[in-house]
Structure formats: C-alpha cells, structure tokens
Amino acid sequence: MYFCEEMAEYTINLRGCLMDLESPKVMGILNVTPDSFFCGSRAQSPEIISGQVRRMIADGADIIDIGACSTRPGGAIVSESEEMSRLRSALKVITHEASGVPLSIDTFRPDVAKMCVGEYGVAIINDVGNADTREEMFRTAAALRVPYILMSTQPTLHDMLITFSREVQQLRDLGQKDIIIDPGFGFGKTLEQNYAILSELENLAVLGLPVLVGISRKSMIQKVLGLTADESLNGTTVLNAISLMKGASILRVHDVREARETVLISSKLSNSKYSNSKIPHVFPH
C-alpha cells in the first residue's frame, strides 16, 4: 500500500462547532515555556505570544496546541501551580488573538486541563501523560465533554493496538465521544521503533479513529540526519508527507505554513487520476 486508500469519515465537536477530519488538519505548537527543545516554539512575553498566534493563523493553523510544561527528555517538570500560572497569563492573550480558532491544551495534569477548559474555553485535551495519570484524565475529559487526544508510549505497533483498544473502551464506558489517537513518536521508543511504527502507521486505521502525528523536528529526525532541531524542517516535511499518505488526520507541527503546503500537495496527489496501483514504488508497505 502506498497511500491510505480511504480516510475515515470523522467529525469532532469543538464546543458546539463541528470539525471534519476527512480533510487533514494542521495543529500549531505554542509553548509558553523557557526550555522547549525547539527554541522557535517558545513564547513567554505577551508580545511574543500574540505575534506567534497571529502568524500561525495567517499560515493556516486549524488548531493551536498550548503547552506550559516541557516534556522533552531530561527537561525539568515544573509544579502544577507554575504550569497553571503560565497558562493563565498566556491564555488571556491567546483567546483574544485566536478568536474562532480552536485551542488545545498539552498537559498530563487533569486539574490543569479542567482549568483551561472551564476558565478559557479550550476545546481539546491533548494528554501527554502515562499510566500514573491516565485514569483520572479519562474521567476529566469525559466529564468536560471535549475531544481527547490519547497518546501511546508503547514501543511497538502490536502493543500499541492492544493498549489503545483497551483504553478506548475505558473512555467509551465513561461516555467519552470524540477520541483522537497519537502513536507518541519520541515517547518510550527507540529510534528504530519510531521508524518501525511510522512504516506501519496505516494499520492504526483498524481502530476507526483519527490519528494525530506529532513528529515535528524531533530527535528521530535529528539523529538520522546529524542535525539540530533548528535544522530539521526539511526532514519534518518528509515525514509529515509520509504520515499523510499513511492516513494521518492531524499534523502537530512547529512550522504551520510548511505543514499546510504539505497537506495541500499530498491531498492533490491522493485525489489525482492515478490509482494506487499506478504509483511507483516509493513507499512500499
């Protein structure tokens, strides 16, 4: 298989507004932290935050994902109160600039998610936690009735599918409606495992849920090319294109304009007059 033959029809409810994921969406990353691994995504002052939000919207962001606690390897985990303080300051600016663009909160703390949804109208919970916080976050997302991004730290597709199946059922039992799955590139996986999962990404379609790919400027690109995060845009674009061909519904990225262009070109190619069988052997299964 060279292209995911059929995108699953899936619509998520973002605080009363429906977003159709049949057409892939771009989620821009905005980190209100001083220590995220890619300096281009860091924003702390109101002026810088405002400028980054305006640029993302102008470049075509469908969603803006906000994080206030870095999850990079070796990074310091700030306290819950500090994470909330950073988010309250940032969200006052972001909600003003991003009127009409849905916001997502990138956190592993249920109370942080609850605050962002309840006080600032954030529309999506992007859970980057693990088994220690997951059950409480499941209950929080279901109670708040917002779409939930379920990330995996499993190292193989086989283990990922088993765990996803169990966790999705737990969420359904709690009444959770909209679920997006994220294979969690860079979380709990070796370099080889990251690429093995990417090579089989289309097999996640068996779950019947939209797939988010967050691969932007990560070490799995840096290590292969011998580059820094600042130099990894081209590698990111290559892997984003492959992800779209394998059925990704959302690209979580630092570089919105380049990702939007990748979506447009990939969509044109997948909708072209050429069938899968006529496409050269570029991305073998």
Q: What's the pLDDT tens digit per position in 171-220?
A: 999 999 999 999 999 999 999 999 999 999 999 999 999 999 999 999 99
Q: Which of 120-134, 236-250, 266-280 has the highest mean pLDDT?
A: 236-250
pLDDT band at 273 (very low <50, low <70, confident <90, very high): very low
Give residue 272's pLDDT.
Answer: 64
Q: Which two tokens stand for residue 76?
A: 């310091």
Catalytic residues, which ones?
218, 252
Q: How far apart are CA 253 and CA 5, in angstroms?
A: 24
Give residue 45's pLDDT.
Answer: 83
For residue 74, the tally of other CB atoms under 10 A from its CB is 7
What's the burial of 123, exposed, middle or buried (CB within 10 Å: 0-12/13-18/19+)?
buried
Give residue 281's pLDDT.
Answer: 42
Give residue 70's pLDDT.
Answer: 77
pLDDT digits (tens, 9 = 90+) for 225-255: 999 999 999 999 999 999 999 999 999 999 9
| Cβ within 8 Å of residue 99, ≥6 positions away | none
Average pLDDT estimate for 104-126: 97
Give residue 131's pLDDT.
Answer: 83
Give residue 43's pLDDT.
Answer: 57
For residue 202, the tally of other CB atoms under 10 A from its CB is 20
- Residue 106's alpha-carbon distances to 21, 59, 171, in angstroms, are 20, 21, 19
**Nearest alpha-carbon partner for 32 in 53, 17, 54:** 53
Give ∠ CA 89-92-97 in degrees, rounded to 5. 130
DSSP 52-97: HHHHHHHHT-SEEEEESS--STT-----HHHHHHHHHHHHHHHHHH
Average pLDDT estimate for 51-77: 88
Which bin fits 255, alpha (ψ -120 to 50), beta or left (φ > 0)? beta
Against a cut of 0.75, is the pTM above it? Answer: yes
Give residue 99's pLDDT.
Answer: 86
> What end-to-end distance do the CA atoms of the chain give, in Å?
5
Read off the amino acid at residue 175. G
Q: How far apart are CA 139 and CA 59, in angstroms?
A: 35
